[in-house]
């Protein structure tokens, strides 16, 4: 099966590609990524020469480029490419609308034109907005996004529905909770706190730190995406979660204990405007239909993530300094592997 992954140089995408190359020998993967600040090809350096993998740099909102790539013939598209950081969307929402909304529409149109038989659209639990205490949202909950990021993801979901409804496009939508694990860019809570703590810098906790997120290890989610690719029903939405919500303070205290660093590093800072208090999903539909279950406990997954960041201190440092960005230049541009040449 020829599979196009968009956003494969990011956190979830690179973990997913590793998993597919390791465990799904029937899949041939093309990674379409614009390489924004969040795209890091070093994440895939160990598989860059695999005969089942290739990379093409393109903007998912560039209709000509996407059309050209899709003309190569794909059996399936896994759409992960997005602007993903809520704080950035508060500073400048424009790239979120361009990539998340327009980019999704461009991709849907290309999938339609080229008759791709399957697409998995990667949405987020944030489209439902903040969950009331003790309640969890199932797939029928209203869309009530609160940040420009989540609003752009909700808009993308609505576009997907319109293509499913009007053109019968075979798209499965996944809405997942917060992921953590290897290769997560150190702007998101867990890798940022690990990186700061390793350098004995303050850990900035927004507001009272009692906001709750239902963390899932990225390897568990990557398996969920693979399950959806193989057996998800077209036109269906599936929530995906591990069912273990934790407050930010609980997470940070656990990290500090794992790192052997003092709680005095915790520094309360001004809250994020419009900060969602709690995300919680009912994911029984996905678990029952697809037979999927999270394998990793939060404690084990968090300990492994701390170890991974320790063992990959150079990777973390290159993310922090921006040095990771010259990898693409050296390994792709200097070797003539650009969009113009990718089809050989």
We find the least distance from the C-beta atom of residue 192 to ligand TYD, in angstroms, to be: 5
Nearer to ligand TYD, 97 or 205 (CB): 205
We find the least distance from the C-beta atom of residue 2 to ligand TYD, in angstroms, to be: 32
Which of ligand NAD, ligand TYD, none interacts with 128 (beta carbon under 5 to 8 A by kind)?
Answer: none
Handedness of CA 228, 223, 54, 328 (dihedral sign): positive
Q: Which of 125, 214, 219, 276 is catalytic?
A: 125
What the block records as the tokens of 111 is 């999938």
Nearest to 151 by CA among 101, 216, 209: 101
- Whole-number Å distance between alpha carbons of 260 and 256: 6
* Residue choice 104, 211, 239, 305 for contact with ligand TYD (CB under 6 A): 211
For residue 287, the surrounding DSSP H or E stretch is helix 284-290
Pairing status of strand 28-33 against strand 171-176: unpaired
Q: Which of 28, 42, 109, 126 is catalytic?
A: 126
Within 10 A of 189 (CB to CB), how many other CB atoms are there?
Answer: 22
* Residue choice 3, 4, 5, 11 for contact with ligand NAD (CB under 6 A): 11
**Beta-ladder partners of 31:** 5, 55
**Would you say 61 and 32 are in contact if contact means Cβ atoms under 8 Å apart?**
no
99 in contact with ligand NAD (CB under 6 A):
yes
Which of ligand TYD, ligand NAD, none interacts with 206 (beta carbon under 5 to 8 A by kind)?
Answer: ligand TYD
Phi and psi at residue 108, to the nearest 5°: -60, -45
Number of residues forming the site for ligand TYD (CB under 6 A): 12
Nearer to ligand TYD, 43 or 150 (CB): 150
Nearer to ligand TYD, 89 or 222 (CB): 89
Q: Taking CB under 6 A as the criterion, which residues in 271-300 touch ligand TYD?
A: 272
We find the least distance from the C-beta atom of residue 300 to ligand NAD, in angstroms, to be: 18
Q: Which residue has the tokens 């850990």?
A: 203
Pairing status of strand 212-214 against strand 245-247: antiparallel
- Whole-number Å distance between alpha carbons of 55 and 20: 15
- Whole-number Å distance between alpha carbons of 240 and 179: 11
86 in contact with ligand TYD (CB under 6 A):
yes
Phi and psi at residue 246, to the nearest 5°: -140, 150
Residue nearest to ligand NAD (CB): 10
125 carries an active-site annotation: yes
* Residue choice 3, 17, 29, 35 for contact with ligand NAD (CB under 6 A): 35
Nearer to ligand TYD, 31 or 124 (CB): 124
126 carries an active-site annotation: yes
Nearer to ligand NAD, 34 or 261 (CB): 34
Q: Which of 128, 149, 163, 183 is catalytic?
A: 149
Nearest to 145 by CA among 330, 333, 276, 42: 276
- Whole-number Å distance between alpha carbons of 221 and 227: 10
* Residue choice 17, 18, 21, 59 for contact with ligand NAD (CB under 6 A): 59
Handedness of CA 120, 124, 125, 129 (dihedral sign): negative
Q: Which residues bind ligand NAD (CB under 6 A)?
A: 6-7, 9-13, 33-36, 38-39, 59-61, 80-84, 99, 103, 122, 124, 153, 176, 178-179, 185
Q: Which residues bind ligand TYD (CB under 6 A)?
A: 86, 178, 188-189, 192, 204-206, 211, 213, 248, 272
Tell me the catalytic residues.
125-126, 149
């Amino acid at each position: 099966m020829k599979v196009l992954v968009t956003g494969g140089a990011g956190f979830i995408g690179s973990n997913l590609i590793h998993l597919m190359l390791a465990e799904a020998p029937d899949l041939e993967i093309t990674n379409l990524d614009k390489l924004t600040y969040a795209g890091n090809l070093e994440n895939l350096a160990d598989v860059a020469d695999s005969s089942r993998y290739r990379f093409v740099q393109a903007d998912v909102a560039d209709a000509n480029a996407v059309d050209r790539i899709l003309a190569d013939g794909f059996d399936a598209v896994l759409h992960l490419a997005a602007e993903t950081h809520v704080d950035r969307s508060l500073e400048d929402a424009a790239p979120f609308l361009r990539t998340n909304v327009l980019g999704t529409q461009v991709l849907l149109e290309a999938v339609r034109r080229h008759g791709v038989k399957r697409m998995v659209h990667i949405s987020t639990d944030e489209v439902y907005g903040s969950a009331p205490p003790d309640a969890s949202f199932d797939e029928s909950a209203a869309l009530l996004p609160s940040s420009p990021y989540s609003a752009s993801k909700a808009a993308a979901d609505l576009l997907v529905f319109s293509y499913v409804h009007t053109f019968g496009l075979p798209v499965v939508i996944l809405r997942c909770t917060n992921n953590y694990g290897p290769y997560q860019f150190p702007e998101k809570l867990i890798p940022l706190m690990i990186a700061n703590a390793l350098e004995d810098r303050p850990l900035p906790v927004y507001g009272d730190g009692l906001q709750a997120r239902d963390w899932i290890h990225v390897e568990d989610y990557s398996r969920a995406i693979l399950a959806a690719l193989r057996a998800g029903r077209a036109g269906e939405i599936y929530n995906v979660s591990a069912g273990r919500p934790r407050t930010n303070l609980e997470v940070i205290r656990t990290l500090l204990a794992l790192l052997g660093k003092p709680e005095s590093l915790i520094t309360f800072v001004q809250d994020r405007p419009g900060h969602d208090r709690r995300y919680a999903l009912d994911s029984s539909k996905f678990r029952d239909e697809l037979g999927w279950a999270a394998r990793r406990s939060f404690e084990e997954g968090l300990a492994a993530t701390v170890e991974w960041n320790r063992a990959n201190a150079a990777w973390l440092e290159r993310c922090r300094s921006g040095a990771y960005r010259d990898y693409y230049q050296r390994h792709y541009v200097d070797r003539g592997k650009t969009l113009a040449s990718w089809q050989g």
